[in-house]
Amino acid sequence: MGSVPRQLALALDHGESFAREDFLGGPSNAAAIALIDSWPDWPQRTAVLIGPEGSGKSHLASAWAQVSGARRIAARALQEGAVPAALATGALVVEDLAAGAFDERALFHLLNLAREQQAFLLLTARTPPAGWTLALRDLGSRLKALPVVAMTSPDDALLCAVLVKLFADRQLAVDESVIRYLAVRIERSFAAARAVVAQLDDEALRHHRPLTRALAAEVLQSAAAR
């Protein structure tokens, strides 16, 4: 990994970018990136993107929505009567599908209408639809026939890069040793990286302390003790 700036700059206003160019790639998400970047030349017009919490599904879905004009809706909010309006732009993201947590008839109607209208759908979930227990057998068959692209936990290099980016989003530059220290001790997920960066930023600001390895150790020990 390249050298990380060693000075510390604190700022209260920050924002995480969800643009495609700011999505960090590695072996764990290469197939998902290829799917997004290959649009509209998809083998099928509907695809399922799966991965653990914090793996980057929402970031990629947001990036795809920007280029495709897709609307975005949470799976739990999907209603049968609202399906035509949801597909108005010809593309739709349905996020966080999970068995028992969405209206099966609404999703079945959506899949059928999307096929009729040749619209594009990107569905996100934590687990493959083939393993779900569904009341509508026809829906289960339709979901099992869809292409599934998986995202896995980031490797060391990608997790380090994500940590650097998250600190940079908050205008924080930290020593490379802090990045390495965190990367081998936190849960291997983007969600864990995001949480620890927020905790460290908060602690550094509240106590007017530099963001050092010692502070990182204190924050991790405190979290483990809860």
**What pairing do the DSSP bridges indicate for beta strands 120-125 and 148-150?**
unpaired
**10, 205 contact by CB (below 8 A):** yes
Better-scored residue on pLDDT, 2 or 73: 73
pLDDT band at 24 (very low <50, low <70, confident <90, very high): confident
Within this chain, do residues 178 and 140 fall inside the same structural domain, yes or no? no
Within this chain, do residues 78 and 171 fall inside the same structural domain, yes or no? no
The answer to whether residue 183 sits within a structural domain is: yes
Q: For residue 108, give its domain range.
A: 22-150
- What residue ranges in 22-146 does DSSP mark as E strands? 46-50, 71-74, 91-97, 120-125
Q: How far is residue 144 from each of residues 99, 134, 194, measured CA to CA in Å?
A: 13, 11, 32
How many angstroms separate the CA atoms of 94 and 126, rounded?
13
pLDDT digits (tens, 9 = 90+) for 35-57: 999 999 999 999 999 998 878 89
Within this chain, do residues 133 and 213 fall inside the same structural domain, yes or no? no
The answer to whether residue 196 sits within a structural domain is: yes
**125, 46 contact by CB (below 8 A):** no
Within this chain, do residues 34 and 93 fall inside the same structural domain, yes or no? yes
The pLDDT of residue 12: 38
pLDDT digits (tens, 9 = 90+) for 102-143: 999 999 999 999 999 999 999 999 999 999 999 999 999 999
How many angstroms separate the CA atoms of 122 and 167, rounded?
30
Report how far Cα 193 is from the mean position of its chain's Cα atoms.
12
Domain end marker among 87, 118, 150: 150
The structural domain count of the chain equals 2
- What residue ranges in 67-222 does DSSP mark as E strands? 71-74, 91-97, 120-125, 148-150
Average pLDDT on 169-183 reads 93
Within this chain, do residues 140 and 201 fall inside the same structural domain, yes or no? no
**pTM score over 0.85:** no
Share of the chain above pLDDT 70, in %: 90
Taking the CB of residue 179, how many other CB atoms lie within 10 A of it? 20
The pLDDT of residue 222: 87
